[in-house]
Homo-oligomer: A and B are copies of this chain.
Amino acid sequence: MAERTWKVYLSGEIHSDWRERIEAGAREAELPVVFSAPVTDHAASDDAGVGTLGEESEPFWRDHMGAGVNAIRTQTLIRDADVVVVRFGDKYHQWNAAFDAGYAAALDKPIVTLHDSEIDHALKEVDRAAQATARTAEQVVDLLRYVISGELPS
């Protein structure tokens, strides 16, 4: 059976190394996966609008410009993805992660959520829209390996 490349979008938390751990795990397992993600440099992301389109002093519109530029990237990559992994950490509101999940759900993209059980109750709507809820980056790698090759961890 010829090898298919899977496109996996990694949405959410940008202040821990969960993306790197999933990417490293997939590389080690030699999975045919191409990962994509939002811009994870927090400062650059906040300046996405004014850094490219010119200055704006009003904070609301500054954010508005930045969010528009970031949306070009994120919505294109989500539409392009086979699987969307959404990570919720223990800090910040992370409404953009939940927004991405809703956006992916309406597009019929399979979703995998990744978060601790402490926030299960608050995330129940998001988890219900997902095909799987993982607790660790390693579980996401195991899941991707199974989905792609049918192999379970021994």
Contacts and interface: CB of A to CB of B under 8 A. Distances in A.
Contacts of A54: 135, 139
A87 to B, nearest CB: 13
A52 B152 contact: yes
A69 B131 contact: yes
A127 B44 CA distance: 19
A34 to B, nearest CB: 4
Interface of A: 1-2, 4, 6, 23, 34-37, 39-41, 44-45, 47-49, 51-54, 58-61, 63-77, 79-80, 82-83, 88, 92-108, 110, 112, 117, 119-135, 139, 142-143, 146-148, 150-153
Instruction: Please give me the 7 A-B residue pairs with the lowest Cβ-Cβ distance, nearest first.
Output: A102-B102, A67-B128, A106-B106, A98-B98, A102-B103, A63-B124, A99-B102
